Structure 1
Amino acid sequence: RRRERYLRWKDTPKNIIMDPHGFCFIPAQWIVSWELFVEGWTSIPPVIPIDADQWRHRHGAIRPSISFSPSSPHTFDLVIISNRTWSYLASQYTVLGSKITE
């Protein structure tokens, strides 16, 4: 949990945008459940998959009606995270679909 907390708190909007490895987007609903675990409010990590496919049309394009925020996951569909954090999450949790980078 300590490594996950470090990754999440390092992902400030400024650090994400300036990261030479780039950034991507993740479903806000998932990140909220992960943050509850990381901060110790729940004792079980998220069991739902990181589902990027829910934000895509059948042909793979991103739905244009998505709302996103760099730091407010409670009111938006997607939040921005660093590729470094994505790589860690993808190695530790179930992911459906490819990461959203556009």
Structure 2
Amino acid sequence: MASEFNKKLLSEGNKTDFPKKGDEVIIEYTGWLYDASKPEKEYKGNEFDSSVGRGAFQTQIGVGRVIQGWDHGVVQMSLGEKSRLTIPGDVHLLAINGKKA
């Protein structure tokens, strides 16, 4: 399992407009389980969810409406940026709105 949060830049955004806590954001995403046996696939295991093909996801960021890893990572991304967030399950995926999964 990934042991720490990581953000890998895939394509740059405008480098000017960053969301602030409480801003509405629109995100297109794909989620994969971390698989330590697949370094050649950047550790991407089974896909578990994706907005691709069904429409982007809109939410308020930085206020606990999404997983902590998104609240932490999305505010570091500028408008139009594409990044891969590696989010440790033992810390970030378990807490949504203060509730454990």
TM-score, structure 2 length as denominator? 0.26
Structure with the higher fraction of residues in helix conformation: 1
Please identify which structure carries the higher strand content. 2
- TM-score (normalizing by structure 1): 0.26
